[in-house]
Structure 1
Amino acid sequence: MDTRKLGTDGPEVSALGLGAMGMSDLYGPADEAEGIATIHAAIDAGITMIDTGDFYGSGHNEMLIRDALRQRDRDDVVISVKFGSRRSPDGAFQPVPADTDPAAVKDRLAYTLRRLGTDHVDIYRPTRLNPNVPIEDTVGAIAEMVQAGYVRHIGLSEVGVATLRRAAAVHPISDLQIEYSLLSRGVEAEILPAARELGIGVTAYGVLSRGLLSGHWRPDRALTGGDFRGQVPRFQGENLAANLALVDALRTVAASIGATVAQVAVAWVASRGTDIVPLIGARRRDRLQESLAAADLVLDEAALRAIESAVPAGAAAGDRYPAQQMAVLDSER
């Protein structure tokens, strides 16, 4: 697989990365053995970047990755870890600001290193901005961990332009992780240009819009307990019907170029620039293999015009998160 460099000072990684969240959490019941097999298949296919969070499955996702990497060379993989969200024993997210003060940075990193079974994290990032903790303090604490050798690079997640600039003034930032897809293009107006000005790469999550752009979503699909998409406006009622109509239009375009909806959606994000690495959130090997084919899909100008005609910017119905979560996104301010 081709590689891309994350920003001016970040690591070189595969052109597609693997998002591991769904193997442990938030999309309903998951199969641990299949998750490990999917990680192995991704590495065998040339994927070198795996993204996780210390709160995915309340630590389970990190341990899953640890178990998968026991049969692989740890140094062949770039592990990206988000931290900061707090959870209660029943799995519920606590409605408090992200845990990003300097003491928390070091404490949470210590547990992450133990769960991953490694002596360093390749990219460490706060999952959200805490308005009560200056980003300079958070980045400064991670920078101390870089100096100590426990972290290789510093990333950010879902922050706006002002926060990007303040953080980059403290320490080089490898990449900004943010939702970016045909249905979520808010990053294009100001955030993406600023990241490029600052030499910061982008790792794009949600490239299949949590399944809406997979080409496999059915309007009558019943969501199981623990699947947070049941709270996401884009999956509700008239919004869902409108969004699936966009998918049907995209399906026609995909068929005309001999690809699937998912492949076109992933390839479109990858086409936005060589400084962008789409994260494939596959939980199963078959879904992974389908999306991996996007790495070889070249979209010419005619195809790009057809894709954006099928799914115009701003066409998505409903917000990408529930209202209370949208309200705390620094990237949406």
Structure 2
Amino acid sequence: MQNRHLGPFSVTAIGLGCMNLSHAYGVPPPPEQGERVLRAAIEQGVTLFDTAALYGFGKNEELVGRVLKPHRSRITLCSKGGLAGVPDENGVLKRVIDGRPGTIRRNCEDSLRRLQTDVIDLYYLHRWDKKVPVEDSVGAMSRLVEEGKVRTIGLSEVSAATLRRAHAVHPVTAVQNEYSLWTRNPEIAMRAACRELGVALVAFSPVARGFLCDAVPDVSTLEAKDIRRTMPRFDAEHHARNLKLLPAYRELAREAGCTPAQLALAWLLHRGEDVIPIPGTTNVEHLKEDLAAADVRLEVDLIRRLEALVNEKTVSGNRYGEQANREVDTETF
């Protein structure tokens, strides 16, 4: 597979987002299945792996660390802090955004232990804690770099203005924001800011949380704890409207000679060498399908028609519900 630059690292143009091996889309698969996916990614040559303290409240990092430890020198390992599981008065873990310097240090040290490594290649601030100046959080991350616990730093779900503030404290290697045909928010200001500052844009949810795989025909079948149940685009009314986009979308995929998922990923790869998608999957065959998107070439006219079909004006519903929107800092249309 072709490689792209992620700060000082040369990584495969498509990485693996590890979240759904332990988190978010209902009951996670058994660890054995997650191990199979991770090992298959290594066998397929993937060199970029992305996890976080939040995912499975540490279980995802434990899985990634256990399976990838023998391959540590061959991969670029990314994780995130500032958003993690914290026990409540009954000992039940709850997700908490906390960007205080002491918390970021503790999150990082916990991640190093779970990942069974001495250093994290790219360490993101998972969410900007708006009660804490981003400069303070990034300052704490810069000290982790100085101590050799982290090689480079990144930000997640932030605006261009916040990126500039952070970058003034310490060079930011990457911003990880949701980016796909149906979530074009980075094009408001983040794309330009990243190019100006030499920052890579790592695109999570690049296949629109399964929608652009043509894999969510009936939202009533989603598991009770599937996070898509909290997302307006997947409620019955909006989803019914969005499904109307799929027949023409499937036809464009056929014209391009690829699957719907590959079309979504190929479009992102065509956005620029500084864009790196990290799709996630629990299925080895889907992993191979995703990675093959790096070989898909799209004609200019097909890209034009694709962007006219699926964009911020044609997609129905917000990407996040009210609470999640309050927690992020990204620009909105």
* Smaller-chain TM-score bracket: over 0.9
| The one of 14, 17, 20 aligned to 1:22 | 20
Alignment of 1:1-333 (within 5 A): 1-6=1-6, 9-29=7-27, 30-70=29-69, 72-87=70-85, 88=87, 90=92, 92-94=94-96, 98-219=97-218, 221-332=220-331
* 8 Å contact kept, 1:247–1:261: no
**2:78 partner SS:** strand
Q: Report the alpha carbon displacement of residue 219 of structure 1 after superposing the two structures with TM.
A: 2.1
Aligned residues: CA RMSD = 1.5
Q: Map Cα deviations across residues 230-282 of structure 1 (whole Å, 9 max, x no partner).
A: 11111111211111221222101101222111000011011100000001111
* 8 Å contact kept, 2:219–2:234: no
Q: Map Cα deviations across residues 104-132 of structure 1 (whole Å, 9 max, x no partner).
A: 11111111011001001011111111112
Q: Report the alpha carbon displacement of residue 220 of structure 1 after superposing the two structures with TM.
A: 5.3
* 8 Å contact kept, 1:156–1:176: yes
> Structure 1 unaligned runs (5+)?
none
C-alpha distance in 1 between matches for 2:93 and 2:290: 29
* 8 Å contact kept, 1:270–1:277: yes
C-alpha distance in 2 between matches for 1:10 and 1:105: 23
C-alpha distance in 1 between matches for 2:303 and 2:98: 41
* 8 Å contact kept, 1:14–1:48: yes
C-alpha distance in 2 between matches for 1:131 and 1:12: 33
C-alpha distance in 2 between matches for 1:195 and 1:250: 29
> Structure 2 unaligned runs (5+)?
none
**2:330 partner SS:** helix
**2:152 partner SS:** strand
C-alpha distance in 1 between matches for 2:219 and 2:125: 36
Q: Map Cα deviations across residues 20-64 of structure 1 (whole Å, 9 max, x no partner).
A: 000001111223211111111112212111111101000000001
C-alpha distance in 1 between matches for 2:322 and 2:297: 37
* 8 Å contact kept, 1:267–1:298: yes
C-alpha distance in 2 between matches for 1:241 and 1:115: 42
**2:244 partner SS:** helix
* 8 Å contact kept, 1:183–1:314: no
C-alpha distance in 2 between matches for 1:223 and 1:155: 32
* 8 Å contact kept, 1:185–1:314: no
C-alpha distance in 2 between matches for 1:231 and 1:84: 22
Q: Report the alpha carbon displacement of residue 146 of structure 1 after superposing the two structures with TM.
A: 0.7
Q: Which amino acid aligns with 1:16?
A: I
C-alpha distance in 1 between matches for 2:150 and 2:130: 24
Q: Report the alpha carbon displacement of residue 292 of structure 1 after superposing the two structures with TM.
A: 1.2
**1:248 partner SS:** helix
**1:93 partner SS:** strand
Q: Which amino acid aligns with 2:4?
A: R
C-alpha distance in 2 between matches for 1:26 and 1:220: 15
TM-score by length of 2: 0.94
Q: Which amino acid aligns with 2:330?
A: S
Q: Map Cα deviations across residues 50-87 of structure 1 (whole Å, 9 max, x no partner).
A: 111101000000001012114x3201111111112243
Q: Which amino acid aligns with 2:283?
A: R
Paired residues, number: 327
